[in-house]
């Protein structure tokens, strides 16, 4: 497969997830939040895709849209076709809540939520939560007990930690329990929203490697992270979001070595082992986006042309939405 084929999903290998034109708006009393705009991506079995971008750019809303977890003030358009290895293809956006709840959420598409402490049921111990999840997905009582200890060990929890209630866990332990709960049903697609928050570096790497191994055995992972070093460590491809849109998406090495979008180059320049210079300025309000490229006010390469919207176009090296991309092959 060519790079373009991998990124655009035009290859013959069947995609596990194909998102087309996904758009999410939130209605507020006197404004509309443009949280996700015309987002398309393809994820293949075995692929780890990292979605990166500054706080508030729409990463978590993307994950929640795929799971039917958005609040009532949200309007969603577009499609997200899931082709599970077992079972019929389904559009996660148009299918009903009943089907999502019974057959898809947790089972076909797992979620490691961004704030696990609030997502965990307070009146059950970690062991009980984990064993219930395992039994709901076909384990016998006995098998569930052994599997719970195994999964706890996989995520770096001591078996004794499982006997605590969620409020007795540190943030990092709650994070690991949430990861264990998402992994327990062995979903073919896992959405991991900042799964390494609150973990120290060895556990960060341990968790990342666990996600990587899932892909190496055929699952697909969409990893949402602020941490570009983490993305680089494990991702096959990286999608950079800015102000609700994907602005660049390419294989990891190419993105880090030769970014095409000035925003990607800016994010990389902010890394401590590079120039350590933050991107100047702030992201725009999603209630008041400009007509053209939303990065224009912060962009060193902007011209008048940038007041017209750039299209996300694919070339042999990936996808980029910029009127003045950095030359491919130029050093970052």
Ligand X SMILES: Nc1ncnc2c1ncn2[C@@H]1O[C@H](COP(=O)(O)OP(=O)(O)OP(=O)(O)O)[C@@H](O)[C@H]1O
Q: Which residues bind Ni ion (CB under 5 A)?
A: 59-60, 114
- The listed partner (Ni ion, ligand X, none) that binds 256, CB under 5 to 8 Å by sort, is none
Shortest distance (Å) from residue 230 CB to ligand X = 13
Shortest distance (Å) from residue 110 CB to ligand X = 18
Cα 310 off chain centre by: 23
Identity of the residue, 55 or 316, whose beta carbon is nearer to Ni ion in the bound complex: 55
Shortest distance (Å) from residue 59 CB to ligand X = 3
Shortest distance (Å) from residue 36 CB to ligand X = 8
Identity of the residue, 239 or 302, whose beta carbon is nearer to Ni ion in the bound complex: 239
Shortest distance (Å) from residue 304 CB to ligand X = 28
- The listed partner (ligand X, Ni ion, none) that binds 73, CB under 5 to 8 Å by sort, is ligand X
Identity of the residue, 35 or 82, whose beta carbon is nearer to Ni ion in the bound complex: 35
Q: Three-state SS across the chain?
A: CCHHHHHHCCCCCCCCEEEEEEEEEEECCCCEEEEEEEEEEEECCCCEEEEECCCCCCHHHHHHHHCCCCCCCEEEEEEEEECCCCCCCEECCCCCHHHHHHHHECCCEEEECCCHHHHCCCCCCHHHHHHHHHHHCCCCHHHHHHHHHHHHHHCCCCHHHHHCCHHHCCHHHHHHHHHHHHHCCCCCEEEEECCCCCCCHHHHHHHHHHHHHHHHCCCEEEEECCCHHHHHHHCCEEEEEECCEEEEEEEHHHHHHCCCCHHHHHHHHCCCCCCCCCCCCCCCCCCCCCCCCCCHHHCCCCCHHHHCCCCCEEECCEEECCCCCCCCCCCC
Identity of the residue, 116 or 156, whose beta carbon is nearer to ligand X in the bound complex: 116
Identity of the residue, 134 or 238, whose beta carbon is nearer to ligand X in the bound complex: 238
Contact between 276 and 289 (Cβ < 8 Å): no
- The listed partner (Ni ion, ligand X, none) that binds 58, CB under 5 to 8 Å by sort, is ligand X
Interatomic CA distance for residues 48 and 52, integer angstroms: 13
C-beta nearest to Ni ion: residue? 60
- The listed partner (Ni ion, ligand X, none) that binds 217, CB under 5 to 8 Å by sort, is none
Identity of the residue, 73 or 303, whose beta carbon is nearer to ligand X in the bound complex: 73
Shortest distance (Å) from residue 213 CB to ligand X = 25
- The listed partner (Ni ion, ligand X, none) that binds 35, CB under 5 to 8 Å by sort, is ligand X
Interatomic CA distance for residues 26 and 19, integer angstroms: 19
Shortest distance (Å) from residue 325 CB to ligand X = 23
Contact between 74 and 262 (Cβ < 8 Å): no
Shortest distance (Å) from residue 105 CB to ligand X = 18
- The listed partner (ligand X, Ni ion, none) that binds 210, CB under 5 to 8 Å by sort, is none
Identity of the residue, 5 or 32, whose beta carbon is nearer to ligand X in the bound complex: 32
- The listed partner (Ni ion, ligand X, none) that binds 56, CB under 5 to 8 Å by sort, is ligand X
Cβ burial of 281 (10 Å; 0-12, 13-18, 19+) is exposed
- Interface with ligand X by CB under 6 A: which residues? 26, 33, 35, 55-61, 71, 73, 114, 226, 286
- The listed partner (Ni ion, ligand X, none) that binds 57, CB under 5 to 8 Å by sort, is ligand X
Identity of the residue, 45 or 113, whose beta carbon is nearer to ligand X in the bound complex: 113
């Amino acid at each position: 497969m060519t790079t373009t084929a991998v990124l655009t999903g035009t290859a013959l290998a069947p995609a596990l997830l194909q998102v087309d034109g996904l758009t999410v708006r939130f209605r507020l009393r006197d404004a509309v939040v443009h949280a996700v705009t015309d987002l398309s991506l393809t994820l293949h079995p075995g692929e780890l895709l990292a979605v990166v971008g500054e706080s508030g750019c729409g990463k978590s809303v993307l994950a929640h849209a795929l799971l039917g977890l958005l609040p009532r003030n949200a309007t969603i358009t577009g499609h997200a076709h899931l082709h599970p290895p077992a079972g019929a293809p389904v559009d996660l956006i148009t299918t009903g809540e009943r089907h999502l709840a019974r057959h898809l959420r947790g089972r076909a598409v797992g979620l490691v939520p961004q704030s696990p402490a609030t997502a965990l049921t307070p009146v059950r111990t970690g062991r009980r939560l984990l064993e219930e999840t395992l039994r709901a997905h076909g384990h016998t009582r006995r098998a569930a007990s052994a599997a719970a200890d195994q999964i706890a060990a996989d995520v770096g929890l001591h078996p004794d930690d499982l006997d605590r209630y969620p409020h007795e866990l540190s943030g990092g332990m709650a994070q690991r329990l949430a990861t264990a709960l998402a992994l327990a049903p062995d979903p073919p697609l896992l959405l991991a929203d900042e799964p390494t928050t609150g973990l120290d570096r060895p556990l960060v790497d341990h968790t990342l490697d666990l996600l990587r191994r899932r892909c190496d055995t055929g699952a697909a992972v969409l990893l949402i992270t602020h941490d570009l070093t983490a993305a680089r460590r494990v991702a096959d491809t990286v999608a950079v979001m800015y102000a609700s849109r994907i602005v660049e998406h390419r294989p990891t090495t190419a993105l880090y070595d030769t970014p095409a979008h000035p925003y990607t180059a800016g994010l990389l320049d902010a890394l401590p082992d590079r120039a350590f210079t933050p991107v100047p300025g702030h992201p725009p309000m999603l209630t008041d986006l400009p007509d053209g490229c939303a990065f224009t006010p912060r962009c060193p390469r902007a011209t008048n042309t940038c007041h017209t919207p750039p299209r996300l176009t694919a070339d042999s090296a990936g996808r980029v939405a910029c009127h003045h991309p950095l030359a491919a092959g130029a050093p970052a």
